Structure 1
Amino acid sequence: MRIPKRLETCRLIIRRYTANDLEMLHEFLNNKDVIGLTDMPLNTSKEETEAFLQMLIDSYTTEEPVAAMAICLKETENVIGSCGFAAVDFSNDTQIYYALEPEFRNNGFATEAMEKLIEYMILVLDIDRICIYCHPENIASMNLAKRIGMQQQTIVQEKDRDAHYFLLTREKYLSGNKV
């Protein structure tokens, strides 16, 4: 799977992580408001964050890269979040994910980033099924899934908790039918 070096939208740059992102990533991974409803571990040490970041960076040049990227404001290039995608172990779906710093929420940045990421996944990588799992308390993510054309399928057990499962197929995306 090819991980893009850089994707751009009107307001954002979505790019691979670099060693310069260590401080931001460490703060990000230790912010309960960011990580609370994700599967990421909270309270990582600086050394753990550095090892995680190096693993991401090293993976970009392998046959099995980790598709994790920084979301940056185009105007300043400051990192405001993270996004990516990964194969789902128990199905043919590819899961997308994102997290934003709290002060950048409710401005359409997540929607903009996810739309660009989906465009790349379908038009460049030829992925047929893209899904997102949302914690039941994460109403904003469920609303985002609907905005980007995903349809709720069911509630599933995801890592020992309930999750709302949303799906977008390549066929639906290419038809332009967003609802």
Structure 2
Amino acid sequence: MIPLSGETRQFHSNSARAAWLRPNGRGNDCPITGLNHLRSVHHNRTIDITIEGDPNGLWDAGRLGQALSNLMANAIQYGDASKPVTALIAGHDPAFVEVSVHNSGSTIPPDVQKTIFKSWTRGQVDGPGRNPHLGLGLYISRLIAEAHGGTIAVASTEVAGTTFTFRLPRA
């Protein structure tokens, strides 16, 4: 049992451990190592990951990897295929790490942004390469961020594109 955000959340006994958002040769403790699978499946897409500052924290690496994978998969599916999908892992704040996933392309309307993290909420499924899905990925990502005492947000405009950001306390 690990106290997070004023509540007690139950994790598997070995799930809360140091996780690195930088590949470091320590097995599955790096949540971004799972992104290699996305790169191999979507070999025709450019996926860029930038790490700034200290990316270390005490998180459930498997769940954090799941949240990051959900965000990256959505960016690949809904983003403009001719433009890169980018992830920025910013560890400049001594108390938090921010992970942002960005894509260009169709924006998310403001009314949809208000409900996008609820269960069974789906984005646009019309268009080439867009497959219907259950609408659980962003909901699960929100639950993972909150279970770690963090937050998740979306910003989407025609000019800037779409960016999902989750902010996690380091411990």
What is the TM-score of this pair, normalised by structure 2? 0.30
Higher helix share: 1
- Tell which has more relative contact order, 1 or 2 (C-alpha 8 A, sep 6+): 2
